Amino acid sequence: MTTSFLSQDIWPQLTKSVRGSRQGCSVAVAYFGKGASHLLPLAKGSRLVVDASEGSVASGQTCPADLVRLVNRGVAVYSVPNLHAKVFVLGRTAYIGSVNVSNRSASTLVEAVIRTTEGNAVRAAREFVQRHCLHRLTPKILEQLAKLYRPPRVPGGKRSAKRPSMTSKRPTLPRLLLAQLDIVKLSERDQAMHDAGLAVAQKRREHPRSFELDDFRWTGRCAFQRGDVVIQVTDEGSNKVLVSPPGNVRYVRKWRDGNKRKSFVYVERPVQRRRQLKSLARALGCPQKKMRSDGVVRDLSFAQALLNTWAVTK
């Protein structure tokens, strides 16, 4: 176990370490500028947390195009507004210091980092990154952010011109809902509506290789909307209640069956095992009944804990 202080040739070492890592890397770094995907060539299975807020993108400090390149490689990219950390966990080594991922950092700025292979420090750094893997950036979100991007006009990535209005009043996480479900048998009409909606949902998938498409039927007023994140809590009978990983709503198919409102909600979610409600509640340190309500999770800390549960699951 070694710890050393680096102040020269930092980026050649970081880039070499990324390319030599045999496992997915975990990185939390405030800004990811133009060309950053070449400086930090993360491979499939890695996790990257950046500040991809509208202000950071519009000022040129974070470049959506470079994030898209990583997403296409199979890197999971997340955004945390106000992120200021620079933490790189590359294999069994952690680098912690001042460097953002930018050409200016690599060629002009005076930077410094601590390099350590001390086990507890590396684990703590990795856990720090994992705790902030909450709001995953999909290709659709990055496409929207790309419309805001402007190359920086002044050194350091900040524009002297007036910034566009920020979205501080908007939630920093997607809207998260819980759905309480039972196993039901579909009628012929229900099955026909399901199949018709499935065809639309298939076309709207954003992660066809790494995620799976799931769906559930909802009776009554449907609050689920495209862009929401849903966690399904399904009563399988015999006191067995399973909780699914968070899924992104891709399509909602609505219709009326007599006086009843019905919907099929199609979600795209990671290929991960469902968890027993009892054990999940124990892990979260909350009563089971907190997971047994329908609708929007308005407790922000609870929503973060729920999302993070699957973000750190291997």
Are the C-beta atoms of 29 and 104 separated by less than 8 Å?
no
pTM, two decimal places: 0.65
Q: Summarize the confidence of residues 102-125 as an average pLDDT.
A: 93
Look at the block and give the residue holding tokens 């898209």: 68
Are the C-beta atoms of 105 and 111 separated by less than 8 Å?
yes
Each residue of 186-200: pLDDT tens digit? 999 999 999 999 999
Each residue of 62-87: pLDDT tens digit? 999 999 999 999 999 999 888 999 99
Residues belonging to the chain: 314
In terms of domains, do 114 and 189 share one? Answer: no
In terms of domains, do 181 and 139 share one? Answer: no
Question: Is residue 167, in this structure, part of any structural domain at all?
Answer: no
Q: Residue 178's pLDDT band (boundaries 50, 70, 90)?
A: very high
Looking at the DSSP bridge assignments, the partners of residue 211 are 270
In terms of domains, do 122 and 216 share one? Answer: no
Are the C-beta atoms of 50 and 67 separated by less than 8 Å?
yes
CATH number at residue 70: 3.30.870.10
Question: Is residue 171, in this structure, part of any structural domain at all?
Answer: no
In terms of domains, do 223 and 133 share one? Answer: no
**Which run of H or of E encompasses 82?**
none
In terms of domains, do 113 and 187 share one? Answer: no
In terms of domains, do 198 and 299 share one? Answer: yes
In terms of domains, do 110 and 222 share one? Answer: no
In terms of domains, do 293 and 196 share one? Answer: yes
% of residues, the chain, pLDDT over 70: 92
Q: Whole-angstrom Cα distance, residue 8 to residue 22? A: 25
pLDDT confidence of residue 220: 92
In terms of domains, do 142 and 12 share one? Answer: yes
Question: Is residue 30, in this structure, part of any structural domain at all?
Answer: yes
pLDDT confidence of residue 133: 87
Q: What is the DSSP letter of 250?
A: E
Q: Whole-angstrom Cα distance, residue 155 to residue 109? A: 10
Range of the domain at 240: 176-311
In terms of domains, do 200 and 93 share one? Answer: no
pLDDT confidence of residue 313: 45
Domain count, the chain: 2
Q: Summarize the confidence of residues 206-214 as an average pLDDT.
A: 84
Q: Residue 160's pLDDT band (boundaries 50, 70, 90)?
A: very low
In terms of domains, do 222 and 128 share one? Answer: no
Q: Whole-angstrom Cα distance, residue 258 to residue 214? A: 26
